Amino acid sequence: MMNCQQATQLLSEKLDRPLDTKEKISLGVHTTLCPPCRRFAQQMEELRSISKRYTKDPDDK
Amino acid sequence: MTNASISSDPTPPNAAGIFLNADFMNDLRQQMLKFARLQVRDDQLAEDAVQEAMLSAYKNIDRFSRQAALKTWVFSILKNKLIDLLRKEKRYTAASQLEEGPNVNGEELIEVLFNKHGHWQKSERPQKWDTPDHGVENAHFWRVFDACLNALPEKYSRYFMMREFLEMDTTEICHNEDLTVTNLNVTLYRARLRLRKCLEDNWYQTEKTS
């Protein structure tokens, strides 16, 4: 089974390329069982949305 | 006939007013410069890009009736200019390949975060970020975010900004920077690990305890 370091790397790569089926399944199994990696996944999404705001809503700063 | 009078006047009454508002224009210019400098790291080039973006806004003055519309538009022009600059810059800029920064990075960071089996160290497990809505609106948040970006090793911040701020795709960045996809993916992963930890340590955690 995939460890947290491998899972977090895939969670980052997911933002840059489509994962293949095998990767999706192993990642899905891992995050189901691992709350810290689930949080990491949410934070990766959050990091992307923060970056979008940084450039798109200069009013916020 | 309110409608008729609006449609007969192509220039909204306050369009030129936006450009005459010195405070607004000055703030906008500073924001653009900051954004451009982060990415091209050459003051003159950054300044020129901002100037050109501003100029094209002046030329399209009729389009903007609100400050927000002007900002969005001028930033999107600036982004395209920066992408062009980064493409040209490739030839003579060797982005530092070092993973040096004020904090632990690269393999060392991975050793701090994960144990030898590749599982999270107890103290490093991601915490819940429960302030995305009101927190992100906050000016203090953006100061922390800027500080975290500035603390990234140059190589990390360059690729991270190309990917996330300029929204270039992976193949384009690799082509520009003579990188393999694997290499880029690893670098972006490390940049995100670093940035995530910095935000958690300096914003989300301190908020929770304060």
Greater pLDDT, B175 or A28: A28
Q: Which CATH architecture has domain B106-209?
A: Orthogonal Bundle (1.10)
Burial class (CB in 10 A: 0-12, 13-18, 19+), B78: buried
Residue A48 lies in a domain: yes
CATH of segment(s) B10-89:
1.10.1740
B52 pLDDT above the threshold of 50: yes
What confidence category does residue B177 fall into, taking pLDDT thresholds of 50, 70 and 90? confident
Q: Over 90: is that where the pLDDT of A29 sits?
A: yes
- B-chain residues near A55 (CB < 8 A): 35, 75, 79, 165
Residue A60 lies in a domain: no
The answer on pLDDT for A56 being more than 70 is: no
Domain with CATH 1.10.10.10 in chain B: 106-209
- Nearest to residue A1, comparing CAs of A19, A26, A36? A26
Distance from A7 to chain B by nearest Cα, in Å? 10
Instruction: Look at residue B15 and tell me whether its pLDDT is greater than 70.
Output: no
Distance from CA of B46 to the nearest CA of A (A): 16
Please, which pLDDT band fits residue B176 given cuts at 50, 70 and 90?
A: confident
- Please report whether residue A38 resides in a domain: yes
Number of domains forming the structure of chain A: 1
The C-alpha atoms of residue A10 and residue A30 are separated, in whole angstroms, by 11
**How far is Cα B164 from Cα B145, in angstroms, rounded to an integer?**
14
- B83: tokens are 């992408």
* Domain range for A11: 4-55
* CA separation for the pair A61, B196 (Å, rounded): 20
In this structure, is residue A61 part of a structural domain? no
Angle made by CA atoms B147, B152, B156, in degrees to the nearest 5: 140
Q: What is the mean pLDDT of chain A?
A: 90
Q: Does the pLDDT value for residue B210 go beyond 50?
A: no
Q: List chain A residues with CB under 8 Å of B136.
A: 50, 53, 60
B63-114 pLDDT, tens per residue?
777 777 778 888 888 988 888 888 776 654 555 555 666 778 888 899 999 9
| CB contact at 8 A, B202 and B143 | no
CA nearest to B165, candidates B188, B197, B183, B185: B188
Of B75, B119, B129, the CB nearest to A4: B119
For residue B16, pLDDT over 90 is answered with: no
According to DSSP, the residues that pair with B120 across neighbouring strands are: B114
CATH 1.10.1740 in chain B: give the residue spans: 10-89
Residue B143, pLDDT score: 85
Q: How far apart are CA B144 and CA B134, in angstroms?
A: 15
Task: Tell me the chain B residues in contact with residue A40 when contact means C-beta distances shorter than 8 Å.
Answer: 126, 196
- Cβ of B192 within 8 Å of Cβ of A54? The answer is no
pLDDT band at B178 (very low <50, low <70, confident <90, very high): confident
Indicate yes or no: CB of B145 within 8 angstroms of CB of A16. no
Q: Is residue A35 part of a domain?
A: yes
Q: What is the ipTM of this complex?
A: 0.93
Q: Contact B191/B152 with Cβ under 8 angstroms?
A: yes
Residue scoring higher pLDDT (B74 or A56): B74
**Rounded-to-integer distance, Cα A13 and Cα A6, Å:** 11
Contact A56, B72 (CB under 8 A): yes
Answer whether A60's CB lies under 8 Å from A27's CB: no
DSSP for A4-52 reads HHHHHHHHHHTTTSPPPHHHHHHHHHHHHH-HHHHHHHHHHHHHHHHHH
Q: Is residue A32 part of a domain?
A: yes
